Amino acid sequence: MLDRTLVDSLFPTDLPDPAFWEERYPPRQQPAEAKVTRLGPSPTGSLHLGGLYVATLNADIARRSGGAYLVRVEDTDQAREVEGAVEQFDRAFAYFGLQPDEHGETGSYGPYTQSQRAMIYQSYVRELLRRDQAYLCFATKDELAAITAQQQAQKVPTGYYGTWALWRNASAEEVRAKLDAGVPYVVRFRTPAEAANQRVHFVDAIRGRLEHEASRNDAVLLKSSDQDPRLPTYHLAHVVDDHLMRVNLVIRGEEWISSVPLHLQLFAALGFEPIEYAHVAPLMKQDGGSKRKLSKRKDPEASVDYYIETGFPAEAVLHYIRGLLNGRLADTPFTEALDAPLRLSECGVAGPLVDMVKLMDISADYVATLSGAEVFDAVRTWAGEYDAELATVLAKERDLALRAISVERDGVDNPRKDLRVWSDFRTAYGFFFDDLFQPVTDPSDERFGGLDPAVVRALAADFVAGYQLVDDPQEWFGQIRELAAKHGFAKNPKEYKKNPDAYPGSIREAAQVFRVAITGSTRSPDLHAVASALGTPEVLRRVGSLR
């Protein structure tokens, strides 16, 4: 055992004792049922959809119970840190209305960034060293690799434990000699000897009772002494932070289940109450015939940025996510689903599949419930960030945009579903706007389906000569019918099919000429509604461009 003077000499002299932090971060005054939850994103890249998934669950459970939800930036792996990641988290949470109750400068249990908590961890590490529940380890990389190789050769579990743990029982003199020589060290946990053949069990709020071998490894608690600041490993940081932030429900990814035995040992060694755990299954993706984890490296849709940049309405994504968390909510209507409670007991143990087609459908359904003005505002906000040209057009042409959006939307039973995400706007509605529309000038354009260019030209010229905008759709379409008849088109497709050589086409082909001339596309919303929204001068300009 190292004497106290030696242990204390390794730390700043003004380092507080744990009692100081206990007092600084007192238990929260809250009802017994209140849950304090947290998300611990690492700023090593943009937020993963799985992060949003777990955040949704955390925030819902905390708020509904009258507790608090906090975000703690877990930046102890400074080498992997990506600049701007924290700002991106904030932006993503704001987009989805998932702002934490405590984070950054907000809240009494901060700092909420681990690199700013180095002192706190050190207090607890020093305490463990003073009590001989931790020790200094000077093992080199090569020595560690040699231990692993021997363990593999002997077919025993790999790790730094028992008699394999070179520095577990080192004498104070050996330690002092290394320190005097300035050799860097890590601090390891001294696993209690009785752990060797123990099994531990605990109750997971999603999975029920779980049983595991006790942890035997003398885990590293504090990383190398030659780093500044000296930061803890995840394991120590989790235990200290969740204790001091008075978190009472840890919801995290299932990849941490196997660390629970170690975490329980650490809670016990530090004299902390253990915290309830809920381990969430990962989001999956169908990849050919098999399923795998949704991966930021392989799948663009794994990144939350993708949803923001593509312009998914937050409500649609949240509705989808909530349905994945609790199947009961998948078929619940929008108005109820976003307010309905999430329950840990209904979270699956197997990871749910993320199905983009399903999400797009949900999104289209959601957009169909919005008023034209709501759609306009949302598209404009999105375009302001991601499509400057469209933003300018919308600012200039608000009335036209509202007329365009209301085509087959306002006052109809089955509103159009051509807008799933805000970036669809350009394709679905861009043709309404002069600045975004290229008139079709060539009568032999392939969009006319191979009609004789002379016929296309003649139809267009006659249309321009006599066009009237009338309110009644039938009467409006009557003009096209008359023009078609005048230029020898069959009255209907059936007649045309019976004798294809007698006609240039049927009324359908004739109408397509005007659809393509007015909208630039062979598919469009109701042409009369489009023509009304555009106004007569613009309709004439477009059809008149065909020469």
3-state secondary structure of 69: strand
User: From the centroid of its chain, how far is CA 284?
Assistant: 13
34-42, 100-108, 162-170, 195-203 -> range binding ligand GLU (CB under 6 A): 34-42
H or E element that contains 9: helix 4-9
- Compute the chain's Rg from CA coordinates: 33
Q: Closer to ligand GLU at the Cβ: 263 or 285?
A: 263
b/e map 476-510, b = 16+ CB within 10 Å: bbebbeebbeebebbeeeeebeeeeeebbbbbebb
Q: What are phi and psi of 533, to 5 degrees?
A: -65, -40
**Does residue number 42 form part of the binding site for ligand GLU (CB under 6 A)?**
yes
Of these, 53, 61, 74, 527, which contacts ligand GLU (CB under 6 A)?
74
Please count the residues of this chain forming the interface with ligand GLU, following the rule CB under 6 A: 8
* Distance, CA of 199 to CA of 214 (rounded, Å): 5
37-45, 83-91, 97-105, 410-418 -> range binding ligand GLU (CB under 6 A): 37-45
- As measured in angstroms, the least distance from the Cβ of 106 to ligand GLU is 20
Instruction: Report whether 218 contacts 191 (CB < 8 A).
Output: yes
**Does residue number 126 form part of the binding site for ligand GLU (CB under 6 A)?**
no
- As measured in angstroms, the least distance from the Cβ of 74 to ligand GLU is 4
User: With 0-12 CB in 10 A as exposed, 13-18 as middle and 19+ as buried, what is 453?
Assistant: middle
- As measured in angstroms, the least distance from the Cβ of 56 to ligand GLU is 14
- As measured in angstroms, the least distance from the Cβ of 192 to ligand GLU is 23
Q: Closer to ligand GLU at the Cβ: 74 or 509?
A: 74
Q: Closer to ligand GLU at the Cβ: 170 or 222?
A: 222
- As measured in angstroms, the least distance from the Cβ of 71 to ligand GLU is 11
Instruction: Report whether 386 contacts 312 (CB < 8 A).
Output: no
Instruction: Report whether 164 contacts 147 (CB < 8 A).
Output: yes
* Distance, CA of 265 to CA of 233 (rounded, Å): 15
35-43, 215-223, 298-306, 447-455 -> range binding ligand GLU (CB under 6 A): 35-43
250-258, 340-348, 468-476, 480-488 -> range binding ligand GLU (CB under 6 A): 250-258
- As measured in angstroms, the least distance from the Cβ of 100 to ligand GLU is 13
Of these, 40, 232, 323, 443, which contacts ligand GLU (CB under 6 A)?
40
39-47, 179-187, 483-491, 528-536 -> range binding ligand GLU (CB under 6 A): 39-47
- As measured in angstroms, the least distance from the Cβ of 89 to ligand GLU is 11
Of these, 252, 285, 420, 487, which contacts ligand GLU (CB under 6 A)?
252
- As measured in angstroms, the least distance from the Cβ of 32 to ligand GLU is 24
* Distance, CA of 495 to CA of 261 (rounded, Å): 79
- As measured in angstroms, the least distance from the Cβ of 256 to ligand GLU is 6
Closest to 60 (Cα-Cα) out of 281, 303, 326, 238: 326
* Distance, CA of 342 to CA of 328 (rounded, Å): 9
* Distance, CA of 372 to CA of 401 (rounded, Å): 9
* Distance, CA of 336 to CA of 24 (rounded, Å): 41
20-28, 251-259, 355-363, 426-434 -> range binding ligand GLU (CB under 6 A): 251-259
Q: Closer to ligand GLU at the Cβ: 210 or 464?
A: 210
**Does residue number 505 form part of the binding site for ligand GLU (CB under 6 A)?**
no
Q: Closer to ligand GLU at the Cβ: 41 or 505?
A: 41
Site for ligand GLU in 263-292 (CB under 6 A): none
* Distance, CA of 224 to CA of 186 (rounded, Å): 5
* Tokens linked to 302: 């794994």
Q: Count CB-CB contacts under 10 A for residue 339.
A: 10
Neighbouring residues of 129: CB distance < 8 A, sequence distance ≥ 6: 2, 7, 10, 135, 136, 187
- As measured in angstroms, the least distance from the Cβ of 40 to ligand GLU is 4
Q: Closer to ligand GLU at the Cβ: 54 or 404?
A: 54
Q: What are phi and psi of 211, to 5 degrees?
A: -125, 145
Of these, 35, 117, 230, 238, which contacts ligand GLU (CB under 6 A)?
238
84-92, 163-171, 252-260, 466-474 -> range binding ligand GLU (CB under 6 A): 252-260
User: With 0-12 CB in 10 A as exposed, 13-18 as middle and 19+ as buried, what is 193?
Assistant: exposed
What strand order describes the sheet that includes 249-253? 208-213, 199-204, 276-280, 249-253
Extended beta strands in 65-185, E state: 68-71, 134-137
- As measured in angstroms, the least distance from the Cβ of 90 to ligand GLU is 16
Widest pairwise Cα distance in the chain:
109
16-24, 249-257, 419-427, 441-449 -> range binding ligand GLU (CB under 6 A): 249-257
38-46, 175-183, 456-464, 518-526 -> range binding ligand GLU (CB under 6 A): 38-46
- As measured in angstroms, the least distance from the Cβ of 268 to ligand GLU is 19
* Distance, CA of 173 to CA of 179 (rounded, Å): 10
Residues that bind ligand GLU (CB under 6 A): 40-42, 74, 238, 252-253, 256
